[in-house]
């Protein structure tokens, strides 16, 4: 055996039940026991090679350390959580890479929550900054009340400098503009659902971004689903929790989940499935909710949640509808968000639109965009965030089109920031094609 090939790890004499359906996460009364997950790690470091932060950050020890190794260290009473956990961007790429299904991102979320709770000074600038960024919705709600003024103020370079100095929010980025009419205002104004159906019902989790910043995405979703005969509901909702997980603000996330879960659970009981247009929102409801919280109905919500295009692909013959269609559209440089990737959705937009005539859609490769929600907004992370994104910018410039496309609103702002391209959502293209 030469050393380019390591000896097989397999030890048949051990008789481990490696194929039994064994759940790495078992919930006990005293909270999560991640031990079996940690024990599954055989230190192959596949997770480390897929971590975009470890690729650029000399301080970051990588997912293997943050997950199983830290978990083991933590069992000793006097060992604190390493502050490097705050550098993990929660992109979840490590989850996808691990051949042993070690629940890495869950371990990171828990460690981060514990770190923020017990080891962080809650009066520190960093804590306050993170809290503000994580609770974007609160800001957005205020801001969208007077969108024009807010846009003017936030776009003011003096305000940006103050944000940077006082709060550690980078002045390099432009704040996303607030729409003059939110999605929910539009929805009310049009009188809610226009299609009634007993069989085809979806409840839309629009999240913060398509409500306050890009209502055209939400509108496209409504029009497309109504075109396919769905009755759409838009229940009361709060933030999905994604930015809170990434900042270790588990209590804030749980408060929001306590609103979202019962609202959507009630609709599920009436025959609705839950759909989201943001891949981080669907990720959160599907995976992070049941991993982190115990709320009545949480499993049902998880089991009924889909990303919107995913839902259509499963339930409608949308490919057939699109085959041979011609749409007058600019050429597109498509980027798959990390959270689409971890749900197995990274190829769907390109596959779906590949055979539609009138434009070209090109996948710009598998790199992370680098912004990872609030990560790229932090002054100390900005440079790293741009460095991670470099690959994507590069590929976008090489792609044919000068318009970008992605499902994730923060990836979208990073794409725009790095290339100056206008960015659209696949639902907008679908609206163009079928409505």
Partner 1 sequence: MPISEDVIVVGGGIAGSVAALSAAETGVSVRLISHKKSTLRHASGLIDVLGYTADGSGPLADPYEALDSLPEGHPYRVVGSDAVREGLALFDQIAGDEYLGGHTDTNALVPTHGGAVKPTARYPRAAAGGIASDDRDMLLVGFESMTDFEASLAADHLDAAGVPFDVTGVTVEFPKTFRADAKVTRFAKALDTDEDVGSRGTREALAAAVEPHLDGAERVGFPSLLGDDHRHEVRDDLESYLGAEVFEVPMGPPSLPGLRLEDLLFDALDEAGVGMSTGNKAVGYETDGDALSAVVVDRQGREIPYHADAFVLATGGLVGKGIGSSREGVREPLFDCHVPHPEDRYDWFVDDAFGDHPFAAFGVAPDDRLRPQDADGDAEFANLFAAGGVVGGADVAAEKSASGVSLATGVVAGREAGESA
Ligand X SMILES: Cc1cc2nc3c(=O)[nH]c(=O)nc-3n(C[C@H](O)[C@H](O)[C@H](O)COP(=O)(O)OP(=O)(O)OC[C@H]3O[C@@H](n4cnc5c(N)ncnc54)[C@H](O)[C@@H]3O)c2cc1C
- Which of the residues 52 through 71 are near ligand SF4 (CB under 6 A)? 53, 63-64, 66-68
Q: How far is the CB of 229 from partner 1 (least distance, A)?
A: 15
Among 24, 25, 32, 45, the residue binding ligand SF4 under the rule CB under 6 A is 45
Of the candidate spans 87-95, 216-224, 237-245, 418-426, the one that interacts with ligand SF4 by CB under 6 A turns out to be 87-95
Does 123 contact ligand X by CB under 6 A? no
Q: How far is the CB of 5 from ligand X (least distance, A)?
A: 4
Among 1, 4, 14, 19, the residue binding ligand X under the rule CB under 6 A is 4
- CB of 334 closer than 8 Å to CB of 363: yes
Length of the chain: 435
Number of other residues whose CB lies within 10 A of the CB of residue 352: 20
Q: How far is the CB of 6 from ligand X (least distance, A)?
A: 5
Question: Among candidates 23, 28, 112, which has minimal Cα distance to 67?
Answer: 112
| Sign for the pseudo-dihedral over CA of 31, 37, 87, 211 | negative
- CB of 40 closer than 8 Å to CB of 74: no
Question: Among candidates 60, 118, 123, which has minimal Cα distance to 87?
Answer: 60
Nearer to ligand SF4, 102 or 399 (CB): 102
Nearer to partner 1, 6 or 123 (CB): 6
What does the alpha-carbon distance between residue 53 and residue 105 come to, in Å, rounded to a whole number? 14
Question: Strands 31-33, 26-28: parallel, antiparallel or unpaired by DSSP?
Answer: antiparallel
Spacing of C-alpha 291 from chain mean position: 15
Residue partners of 124: CB distance under 8 A and separation at least 6: none
Question: Among candidates 413, 357, 422, 363, which has minimal Cα distance to 385?
Answer: 413
- CB of 346 closer than 8 Å to CB of 411: no
Spacing of C-alpha 342 from chain mean position: 9
Q: Quick one: DSSP state of residue 86?
A: G
Nearer to ligand SF4, 73 or 435 (CB): 73
Among 1, 3, 6, 324, the residue binding ligand X under the rule CB under 6 A is 6
155 interface partner picked from ligand SF4, partner 1, ligand X, none, CB below 5 to 8 A per type: none
342 interface partner picked from partner 1, ligand SF4, ligand X, none, CB below 5 to 8 A per type: partner 1
**Total residues binding ligand X (CB under 6 A):** 3
The binding site for partner 1 (CB under 8 A) comprises 1-10, 12-13, 15-20, 44-46, 48-51, 54-56, 58-59, 61-62, 65, 96-99, 101, 286-287, 299, 302-303, 306, 310, 313-319, 341-347, 350-351, 354, 363, 366, 387, 390-391, 394
Nearer to ligand X, 6 or 196 (CB): 6
9 interface partner picked from ligand SF4, partner 1, ligand X, none, CB below 5 to 8 A per type: partner 1
**Total residues binding ligand SF4 (CB under 6 A):** 28
Does 249 contact ligand SF4 by CB under 6 A? no
What does the alpha-carbon distance between residue 202 and residue 25 come to, in Å, rounded to a whole number? 30
Nearer to ligand X, 2 or 118 (CB): 2
Q: How many CA atoms lie within 13 A of 202 on its CB side?
A: 27
Q: How far is the CB of 375 from ligand SF4 (least distance, A)?
A: 8
Question: Among candidates 24, 196, 23, which has minimal Cα distance to 104?
Answer: 24
Does 157 contact ligand X by CB under 6 A? no
- Which of the residues 13 through 42 are near ligand SF4 (CB under 6 A)? 41-42
What does the alpha-carbon distance between residue 343 and residue 335 come to, in Å, rounded to a whole number? 15
Q: Quick one: DSSP state of residue 81?
A: P
Q: How far is the CB of 10 from ligand X (least distance, A)?
A: 11
Of the candidate spans 95-103, 178-186, 289-297, 400-408, the one that interacts with ligand SF4 by CB under 6 A turns out to be 95-103
What does the alpha-carbon distance between residue 372 and residue 387 come to, in Å, rounded to a whole number? 13
Nearer to ligand SF4, 62 or 168 (CB): 62
Q: How far is the CB of 60 from ligand SF4 (least distance, A)?
A: 8
Burial 156-191 (b: 16+ CB within 10 A, else e): eeeebeebeeebbbbbebebbbbbeebbbebbeeee
Sites of contact with ligand X (CB under 6 A): 4-6
Q: Which residues contact ligand SF4 by CB under 6 A?
A: 41-47, 51, 53, 63-64, 66-68, 88-94, 97-98, 100, 102, 104-105, 108
């Amino acid at each position: 055996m030469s050393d380019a090939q390591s000896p097989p790890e397999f030890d048949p004499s051990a008789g481990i039940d490696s194929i039994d359906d064994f759940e790495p996460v078992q919930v006990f009364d005293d909270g999560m026991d991640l031990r079996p997950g940690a024990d599954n790690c055989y230190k192959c470091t596949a997770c480390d090679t897929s971590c975009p932060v470890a690729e650029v950050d000399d301080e970051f020890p990588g997912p293997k350390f943050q997950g199983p190794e830290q978990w083991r260290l933590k069992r000793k009473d006097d060992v604190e959580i390493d502050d490097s956990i705050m550098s993990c961007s929660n992109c979840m790429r490590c989850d996808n890479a691990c051949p042993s299904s070690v629940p890495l991102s869950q371990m990171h979320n828990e460690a981060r929550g514990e770190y923020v709770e017990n080891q962080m000074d809650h009066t520190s600038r960093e804590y306050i900054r993170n809290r503000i960024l994580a609770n974007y919705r609160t800001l957005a709600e205020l801001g969208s009340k007077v969108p024009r003024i807010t846009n003017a103020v936030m776009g003011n370079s003096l305000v940006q400098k103050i944000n940077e100095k006082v709060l550690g929010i980078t002045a390099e980025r432009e704040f996303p503009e607030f729409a003059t009419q939110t999605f929910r205002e539009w929805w009310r104004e049009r009188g809610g659902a226009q299609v009634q159906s007993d069989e085809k019902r979806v409840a839309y989790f629009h999240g913060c971004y398509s409500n306050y910043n890009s209502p055209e995405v939400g509108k496209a979703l409504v029009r497309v689903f109504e075109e396919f005969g769905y009755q759409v509901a838009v229940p009361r909702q709060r933030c999905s929790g994604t930015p809170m997980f990434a900042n270790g603000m588990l209590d804030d996330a749980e408060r929001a989940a306590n609103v979202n879960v019962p609202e959507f659970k009630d609709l599920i009981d009436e025959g609705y499935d839950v759909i989201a247009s943001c891949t981080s929102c669907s990720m959160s409801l599907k995976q992070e909710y049941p991993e982190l919280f115990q709320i009545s109905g949480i499993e049902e919500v998880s089991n009924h949640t889909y990303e919107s295009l995913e839902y259509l692909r499963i339930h409608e013959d949308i490919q057939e509808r699109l085959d041979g269609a011609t749409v007058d559209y600019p050429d597109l440089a498509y980027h798959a968000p990390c959270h689409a990737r971890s749900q197995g959705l990274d190829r769907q937009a390109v596959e779906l639109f590949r055979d539609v005539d009138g434009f070209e859609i090109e996948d710009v490769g598998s790199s992370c965009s680098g912004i990872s929600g609030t990560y790229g907004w932090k002054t100390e992370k900005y440079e790293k965030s741009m460095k991670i994104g470099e690959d994507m910018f590069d590929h976008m410039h090489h792609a044919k089109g000068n318009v970008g496309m992605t499902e994730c609103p923060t990836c979208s702002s990073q794409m725009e920031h790095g290339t100056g391209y206008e960015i659209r959502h696949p639902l907008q293209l679908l609206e163009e094609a079928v409505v």
